[in-house]
Chain A
Amino acid sequence: MAIKLPIYMDYHATTPADPRVVEAMMPYFTEHFGNAASRNHPFGWEAEEAVDKARKQVADLIGANAKEIVFTSGATESDNLAIKGVAEMYREKGNHIITAVTEHKAVIDTCKRLEKGGYRVTYLPVQKDGLIDLDELRAAITDKTILITIMTANNEIGVIQPITRIGVIAKERGVLFHTDAVQAAGKVPFNVNDLKVDMASISAHKMYGPKGVGALYVRRRNPRVLLAAIIDGGGHERGMRSGTLNVTGIVGFGKAAELCMQEMASESERLRKLRDRLNERLHKGLDEIYINGSMEHRLPHNLNISFAYVEGESLLMGINEVAVSSGSACTSASLEPSYVLKALGAGDDLAHSSIRFGLGRFSTEEEVDYVAEKLTQVVTRLREMSPLYELAKEGVDLSTMQWEVH
């Protein structure tokens, strides 16, 4: 069977909506179009009922109570709400926030803005494997610390942080704990009570739901988390997030969460096998390729590899019928190589040479084999024209060479 091109292998960026999700959403565009806040007619009641059902579905996925789910426009908003909301609400208690250097920009840039407003932020470094050091976390906590925000799984390297242990530390010290769980929720077991998190950001479009809808889990008991709203208006979502609810999107989110819950175990196992197959094939075909981040503490559908001596954008150009991402500077808007890979301390050159593979629900073995073979060919061809590969083969140690940095 001929393979269908282009191949999508960038599931960390976004996922297609599952057809079952789209089907569930359809009636809410036209027939059941009501405003969930309309309390006095059946159109509103229907919408509210649909939202309640979805709220329960999303809550069930993460082991929460439906009342603890605040719907938002997506995880960026959820991160903003959690961090800014806690910062404002607990200002009298303290002004110190702890996060990590490998967090998503929605967290880092939110923290940076708070710094301008007089808050103090500690950006924990990560170790070579991408994990934070828990002793450094403990040492960073002061009596002014009001929030720890550490992501569950990283969007580039898929590395899963020791969330339960962070949760325990946060509890011991009476500090609130928020996690950006966008990449983990729906993919690997994520239970807010087992993990002892107080707030969690999740997003529908990363779990086969629609774009433009997300949620923030906000704990109501032990402790009850209070948030200052960042959007003012009609007082929706128990005052935490005003704005007419995106009923259609929320219905899709609920359905997507339900499907993830039902299929997670089999899906993650299937994807782990595909990911390992991809990894093995690449290693068989090529020398000097390096996995970025821990393989042990990692999402089953993620692989992030640096292909030494080859620049990422030129690699992407050679596999232009395969959708993946690179940590190369040339592929980023900022023209800086991936700050996540730099944080691992592997050297900027390996960041420039990296490719992120994200497998997902619709990935197939044929696609994996095609990508592995194509990539092996392209890397081999590009190495033949790489002066770095030539120097390395001559025995020159590239790290001791003096380069004219421009």
Chain B
Amino acid sequence: MAYSSKVIDHYENPRNVGSLPKDDPNVGTGLVGAPECGDVMKLQVKINPGTGVIDDAKFKTFGCGSAIASSSLATEWLKGKTVDEALAIKNTDIVTELSLPPVKIHCSVLAEDAIKAAISDYRKKHQSTTTSKSAEEKAQPSA
């Protein structure tokens, strides 16, 4: 399969690989996918509780090159966005940016799910102040 140059670039030079302290109240963690399906993404955001802006984003991904690129791109896009702007990111935006072929669309869906899961986790931690938005919550894989 031929990869787009952007997928190759993200695969070879992934942005924002790493982990944020998951117990930090300002950090939201999303862990989506399953090992038996061949892809798992962990995406974390650090949100400034005062401004609601994402100060930092990190990811780790088990998956194909397109899955790695989708999550790498997502973290790049997340930084500097408000929570609401982040939630507006659609998987189709990722598909377009990375020129993903149809068989790789699920990678972009997973990245969108990871964003939503991370923000949902952050909101859970701040439930007292953001109860109105808790409807967005998504089930979290748990240990």
Contacts and interface: CB of A to CB of B under 8 A. Distances in A.
A348 B103 contact: no
Interface residues of A, number: 32
Contacts of B35: 347-349, 352, 388, 398, 403
A330 interface: yes
Interface string B37-74: 11111100000000000000001111111011000000
B100 interface: no
B2 to A, nearest CB: 11
Interface in A359-406: 384-390, 396, 398, 400-406
* B: interface residue count bin: 35 or more
A92 B63 CA distance: 51
Nearest to B138: A404
Given A311-B64, A313-B64, A401-B143, A384 B40 contact: no
B42 A406 contact: no
Interface string B1-43: 0010000100100100101000000000001111111111110
A329 interface: yes
Contact of B38 (A330, A385, A386): A330
A395 to B, nearest CB: 10
B64 A402 contact: no
A330 B8 CA distance: 16
B68 A403 contact: no
Contacts of B110: 406
Given A385-B17, A385-B68, A314 B63 contact: yes
A72 interface: no
A352 B142 contact: no
Nearest to B68: A314
A347 B36 contact: yes
Contact of B36 (A349, A385, A386, A402): A349
A387 B68 contact: no
B34 A337 contact: no
A387 B141 CA distance: 13
Given A335-B103, A404-B141, A406-B106, A385 B60 contact: yes
A139 interface: no
A328 interface: yes
A405 B106 contact: no
B41 A314 contact: no
A405 B142 CA distance: 13
Contacts of A317: 3, 8, 11, 64-65
Contacts of B60: 385-387, 390
A309 interface: yes
A243 B65 CA distance: 46
A13 to B, nearest CB: 16
B83 to A, nearest CB: 22
Contacts of B59: 385
A405 B36 CA distance: 8
A47 B135 CA distance: 78
A310 interface: yes
Contacts of A335: 103
Which of B42, B60, B62, B67 is packed against the most chain A CB atoms within 10 Å? B62
B90 to A, nearest CB: 17
A319 to B, nearest CB: 12
A348 B36 contact: yes
Interface in A320-347: 328-330, 335, 337, 347
A388 B40 CA distance: 8
A398 B141 CA distance: 11
Nearest to A336: B38
B41 A387 contact: yes
Contacts of A398: 35
A349 B62 CA distance: 10
B88 interface: no
B62 A310 contact: yes
B33 A309 contact: no
Nearest to A318: B11
Contact of A406 (B3, B19, B37): B37
A406 B32 CA distance: 9
B100 to A, nearest CB: 12
Given A403-B40, A405-B36, 7 more contacts: A313-B64, A314-B65, A349-B36, A384-B17, A388-B40, A390-B19, A404-B32
14 contacts: A309-B62, A314-B67, A347-B35, A348-B36, A348-B37, A352-B38, A384-B17, A385-B59, A385-B61, A390-B42, A401-B141, A401-B143, A403-B35, A403-B141
Which 6 A-B pairs give the minimum distances between C-beta atoms? A403-B34, A348-B36, A349-B35, A387-B42, A313-B64, A387-B60
